[in-house]
Structure 1
Amino acid sequence: MLLRASQINGDGYATDVWSKNAAAAGESATRINLVAAWRESTVFTDAERAALELAESRTRIADAAGGVGDEAWAQAVKHYDQDQLADLVVLIALINATNRMGVIVRQPGGGYQPGNLG
């Protein structure tokens, strides 16, 4: 979800960070690479797909003028309890805010090493 929002927002640094952190945590290259095309892939669970949909609909605010659609919210509710949903909403808002800051200051991607935020 963090990786997908960062991709959409064009934040090269955050995309670098989240993809490398996922790999360092043992995530497969296939799943990392397919985040950008999650709708057209078979490697994500229904719960992951619901979180990705929620993140995309909140990240693409201008594209999704109505906000989060009823179906996207219903899918999220099906897989996450109220506390988890609150966490997802806050996390989506925070990654979008930090992506925008990263884009404004033009921090480039490519040099991040997992475990070292410097």
Structure 2
Amino acid sequence: MEARLNVFASQSATGFVKRFIAANMPIVESGIPAATQELVKIRASQINGCAGCLDMHTKEAAAAGETSLRLNLIAAWREAKVFTDAERAALEVTEQGTRLADAAGCVTDEAWANAAKHYDEEQLGALVCLIASINAFNRLNVITQQPAGDYQVGQAAAFHKG
């Protein structure tokens, strides 16, 4: 598969992506566990069919110690016993926040209240921004048909510095 657009050859696209990555740093440092952040990114990417983000985030999660069992069960998290209540709450908000057009355009009060049991106001703000961010990255990659499979662990960190 060939990408429709070389994002790195476009000054506008590259500038946007670099700034968008930088804008995500407060989320990374928010206190939401890194494993939960990766689960959120992977689940939204599954829903959106973003192969590039799935390639990146499953590899990064595995390199950080995430088990293959948990990675393989993310799409079926409701039936899987391997996720904590806090992770389940984050995954529910992720699904509802990603599927806005499919679910009457909202995250339910029940899902929000459940997440609020596990995350403080600061973390909830970061969770919302994380969901919005990964959805934006998914859209950028899906629209431009970015191929997957070649991502190397740590590759994104190098782009942060560039």
Mapped partners of 2:148, 2:114: distance in 1: 33
The secondary structure found in structure 2 opposite 1:53 is helix
Q: Say which of 14, 19, 32 aligns to 2:71.
A: 32
The code of the aligned residue for 2:46 comes to: Q
With normalisation by structure 1, the TM-score equals 0.97
Could you say which structure has the greater relative contact order, defined with CA pairs below 8 angstroms and 6 or more residues apart? 1
With normalisation by structure 2, the TM-score equals 0.71
Match of 2:89 in 1: 50
Match of 1:61 in 2: 100
Match of 2:18 in 1: none
Match of 1:114 in 2: 153
Match of 1:90 in 2: 129
Q: What per-residue deviation string (whole Å, max 9, x for no partner) do you get for residues 46-77 of structure 1?
A: 00000000010000111111410111001000
Match of 1:20 in 2: 59
Mapped partners of 1:20, 1:39: distance in 2: 23
Q: Which protein has the larger Cα radius of gyration, Structure 1 or Structure 2? A: 2
Structure 2, unaligned runs of 5 or more: 1-39
List 4+ stretches of structure 1 deviating above 4 A.
none
Match of 2:113 in 1: 74
The code of the aligned residue for 1:98 comes to: F
